[in-house]
Structure 1
Amino acid sequence: MRRIRPTAAVIGLVAAAGILTIAAPAAAHGFTSVVYADVTAQGGTVVSELKLEYDLLIVSAADAEDDDSLFDDGTYAFEAQDAQLQVQALEDHIDSVAAYVTAGFTAAVGGEVCPARLDDELEMTLAEGVPYVRLTVVSDCAPTNDGHVITSTLFGDDEGYVRDTKAVVTYDLDLQHGSAALDAQHPSFDTEQTGWERFWSFFALGAEHLLTGIDHILFLLALIVGSRRLREIVLAATSFTIAHSVTFILAAVGVVSVPAVVVEPIIALSIAVVAAWYLLRLGRKREHVDDLSRRSGPLGLDRSGWLRLAVVFVFGLVHGLGFAAALGIDQPWSWTLLWSLLVFNLGIEAVQIGIILAVFPLLVLLRRKAPKTGMWVAGIVAAGVTAAGLYWFVERLLGA
């Protein structure tokens, strides 16, 4: 097989530009958001500690309460990337913030919404590298033996700023403890929810997280185009799955904690490295990329193959930390918690397998029927993914 001609390089640059067009808005916000909530009973009250995305809270509360000065002050603080200014902007307009939050996150007993107020203490934090504000809603509920209904309509589709907002709720209430995932179709849950309801909510949350996580999808595409046989993609996917499952569970239960400012740039770098690996190998070989005659060693992998597998495993450990940050569960270890984590991870794996089954056979067929075209297509995809990974890496470093 001849070396890639200049035409292929030009096409690769076009593909890179196309993927960067997707990457740029995806790296910023504006598509979806996650609300994190930890709900507990304290005496005769229900205490809900919330983590809300700062920029969305500013625009949503300002719009809902017709408070233009909140928008101006909050936007200035957000663009200045100053946590103290951000807290000050919220405190200066606490009535508007409280009205929006207490209306959008409620606890109810017997069909009646409990009167709620906002605690005075506010704190800035990060979730997946995005500024979040931590605040507390205190709901005064009457004693009950029938359980509580928790509802979240924060950052709804009708506001027009984001879509498909999820609320990940952990709770210790009514002698029940566990987790729930809420969305626009299912904005509420009862503390007496069934096991099947909990299973489906976390399975769907895991699946949707991977489907909407363009960075994780591009990493998977880099693995696919860099694999020449089914054995290679199976080993690479298995290595990635084992690695991210380990760190995902350890981070979610609080055993491991790594700041998002470290995790997010490395995730971006992993995309570029794995995709560029294929491009480097492609540039060194003058013969068929699919020629397996030079393979040797256990499982049919040569030294380069095993090195690639080790790199995928290491980066998989980092991706697991990113998955854990997306889930946002922060509660003591329990079997219920482990069950929720495993189901969330199962949703991720289902989508991952689906993407491999959809893309890899097409790539193999193309390589066999038209080897030259197949090489160009794989190279174009790898070039675009590499460019996107490098773009995110620089952006996340500068934003850290």
Structure 2
Amino acid sequence: MSHRARRLLLAFAAAAFLFLGLVRPAAAHGFTSVVYAHVTADGDGRLRSELKLEYDLLVVSAADAGSDDPLFRAGTDAFEAKDAGAQAKALDAHRATVIDYVTRRFAVTAGGADCEPAPVGGFRMGTEEGVPYALLTLDWTCSGHGTGDHEIRSGLFPDPEGYVEGTKTIVTYAVDGHTGSAALDSAHPEFSISQSWPQRFWEFFRLGAEHLLTGTDHILFLLALIAGSLRPREVVLAATAFTLAHSVTFLLAALGLVDVPAGLVEPVIALSIAVVAGWHLWRLRERGERAAVLPAPETSRLGLDRAGWTRLGVVFCFGLVHGLGFAGALGIEAAWSWTLLWSLLVFNIGIEAVQLGFIAVLFPLLLLLGRRSPRAGRWVTGALSAGVAVMGLAWFVQRVTGS
């Protein structure tokens, strides 16, 4: 084995172990749940909440799953049988237990006073993204109604229960002339219905920013784009193509016009990471050590050769899939109100802000390194791409096999 080949193998192994050691091996979206709540007022001092909760998660959380609990037995049997009628019947048979669990973690207040919940009708069943959801309607009697200061709190399916991580509660509301939406999680478990539009803007902006920061697969894809771009023009075009593509599918999913199973989206996202990272390794090999740090021959006004245009097309296609992943983070699969759609656009802006921040910080550093020491720049971007490619392939296998 040549000295160059040994160095390449060493760099590849180092990058692989670095990413395997520092990056979560789990899917970025595979262990979360979304609760949907729609809150309205009836004009008689009561609020009505229509809750949608993931069925199997509700069963194991409300029941004592560590014992021979009758709710756990009946609920899991109905879930495995995929019988919606049996699922609703199991919840109704243990109505007090389930409602007690929900109302201890989801609450409405008015003027600082707790509203009293009362169930309306029995449990109904529906689906969200192909997953069974239980529908529960609660009426809340509020002694402080009319104060204009209603608050919604949600701590449903918290991390300490150990079943899921990072549960989000998406709330839409139309109460006393106030309409809008909010996204609640463990870090921000409550909001006021009378909040101003800048507060609503910030909530979804923050949620979008946090999603990209904590979505390891999207971060790695972005790193692959940055490492594989030799000039500012290339990274700008690649980031623009990615943004346009994921914005298209994100909005289509929000409008209910696109419905792709997460079981297909997640493996393709993982594969996209490996392909885009591997593309840079291929370019380094094809161009050679000297050509790898020189501009590609310009064949268009945008300064891209045929390989550059091909890469841009690949990035755009994979960006379409990432948009479905972003939408899946909020469980989007149906047409919602324009108010909520506006909030989702703000969510997307939060994603873009973090994306631009990464590019603004990391790419100039790589560019400066490449200009001062072309060889070092080549090895750094090559090692970075190799590590990203390894993680992408590992995740692809993990998500396809379900391991």
TM-score by length of 1: 0.84
Structure 2: distance between partners of 1:333 and 1:159: 32
Distance 1:68 1:18, change over 3 A: farther
Residue in 1 aligned with 2:7?
7
Match of 2:104, SS? helix
Corresponding position: 1:380 with 2:389: no
Residue in 2 aligned with 1:353?
356
Query: How much is the aligned-residue C-alpha RMSD, in angstroms?
Result: 3.5
Q: CA deviation at 1:125?
A: 4.1
Residue in 1 aligned with 2:275?
273
Corresponding position: 1:303 with 2:303: no
Deviations 1:304-338 (A, max 9, x none): 1011111111111221122122133555442x334
Match of 1:16, SS? helix
Distance 1:189 1:90, change over 3 A: farther
TM-score by length of 2: 0.83
CA contact (8 A) 1:35 1:53 kept: no
Residue in 2 aligned with 1:136?
136
CA contact (8 A) 1:252 1:328 kept: no
Corresponding position: 1:36 with 2:36: yes
Residue in 1 aligned with 2:107?
106
Q: CA deviation at 1:194?
A: 0.8
Distance 1:292 1:4, change over 3 A: farther
Q: 1:314 aligns with which of 306, 309, 317?
A: 317
Structure 1: distance between partners of 2:70 and 2:17: 37
Residue in 2 aligned with 1:222?
224
One-letter amino acid of the counterpart of residue 393, structure 2 = L
Q: 1:254 aligns with which of 243, 256, 279?
A: 256
Structure 2: distance between partners of 1:24 and 1:145: 50
Q: CA deviation at 1:42?
A: 6.5
Structure 2: distance between partners of 1:295 and 1:5: 31
Residue in 2 aligned with 1:186?
188
One-letter amino acid of the counterpart of residue 235, structure 2 = I
Q: Which region of structure 1 is more displaced relative to structure 2, 230-239 or 277-286?
A: 277-286
Match of 1:172, SS? strand
Matches within 5 A, 1:91-130: 91=91, 95-110=96-111, 111-117=113-119, 119-123=122-126, 125-126=128-129
Match of 1:315, SS? helix
One-letter amino acid of the counterpart of residue 284, structure 1 = E
Q: CA deviation at 1:180?
A: 0.7
CA contact (8 A) 1:67 1:96 kept: no
Distance 1:114 1:275, change over 3 A: same
Percent of residue pairs identical: 49
Corresponding position: 1:363 with 2:361: no
Q: Which region of structure 1 is more displaced relative to structure 2, 9-18 or 83-92?
A: 83-92
Deviations 1:42-93 (A, max 9, x none): 68551322234845x4554346x98663797599779x97755994896376
Q: CA deviation at 1:160?
A: 6.6
Match of 1:135, SS? strand
Residue in 1 aligned with 2:69?
69
Q: CA deviation at 1:13?
A: 2.7
One-letter amino acid of the counterpart of residue 227, structure 2 = V
Give the gaps of 5 or more residues in structure 2.
none
Distance 1:73 1:375, change over 3 A: farther
